[in-house]
Amino acid sequence: MAEHNAPFDRFTFTCTDRVNGRVLFWMHRLQDDSYELHAEKGPSGQLMAEFTRTVPLKTAEALRDELSEAGVFGWDESYPDDAAPGSRRWNMTIVFQEGVYTQTCSGGSSVPDGFDALMEALYKLDLPRPGADDAPGISTPPMMPGMPGGFDLSALFSGGPAGGPDASMLAEMQQTMAEMQAHPERFQQQIKEEFRSLPLEQQEGMLDMLASTGMAPREWWEKFLRG
């Protein structure tokens, strides 16, 4: 992928307020023009990582298009800041091309038009929503590169006992999801290796079953698993 085709090199956003603490989100371009996403959340000075994962170039292109539609690229460098202790503070930096052009915006309780649209674009990429409680059970899973829609493991078990997973299945799904979030590349490689070790007839049956979940078409699964 040619370097000038990348929508940006780095995108970073932070927001702090007295109610919700601090959130940090960044998106950095890698050498192969994929992007690494990272999010953290927690009290100032005690941020806890929410996730780190790799996404394809088109994810960054989609974010750029949403930011452009929201008017973000026309924002001023700074906006009025509320001096009251604990007021909201936010900062955004977009490095379009390292050493060539960088846009930096910051402010407080006063925000520019399009700020809500910016936040919604980041929430789509799993930035934790302010005030959202950490729900028990299975968290929102990361997406596999190129998959249309989210990767919902529960769909794989929809045909299980009573139409859904039992307690043991749920525990296994939670463990699998934690492993997937912590080591997405290794998890995906394991899936491919296990699939390729199956006899051809079982591979075909597995592809049919995965396609039936509706998470992605059969052609996507076949390309992902067989290469």
Domain ranges of the chain: 3-124, 154-226
Q: Which residue has the tokens 């028990």?
A: 136
Rounded to 5 degrees, what are φ and ψ at 192? -65, -45
pLDDT digits (tens, 9 = 90+) for 107-121: 887 788 999 999 999
Burial of 177 (0-12, 13-18, 19+ CB in 10 A): buried
What's the confidence (pLDDT) of residue 82?
Answer: 63
What's the confidence (pLDDT) of residue 154?
Answer: 45
List residues bridging with 208 in a β-sheet. Answer: none
Q: For the stretch 160-170, what's the b/e string if a residue is b when 16 or more beta carbons lie within 10 angstroms of its beta carbon?
A: eeeeebeeebb
Residues of the chain with pLDDT under 50: 1-3, 132-142, 150, 152-165
Residue 118's CB is within 10 A of a number of other CB atoms, namely 22
pLDDT digits (tens, 9 = 90+) for 3-53: 457 899 999 999 887 666 788 899 999 999 899 999 888 765 666 777 888
What's the confidence (pLDDT) of residue 70?
Answer: 93
Task: Judge whether 91 and 105 are in contact, CB under 8 Å.
Answer: yes
What's the confidence (pLDDT) of residue 171?
Answer: 57
Nearest residue to 92 (alpha-carbon basis) of 78, 80, 82? 78
In this structure, whether the domain defined by 3-124 belongs to CATH 3.30.1560 is answered with yes
What's the confidence (pLDDT) of residue 61?
Answer: 94
What's the confidence (pLDDT) of residue 59?
Answer: 93
Longest dimension (CA), the chain: 67
- 75: tokens are 């924002």
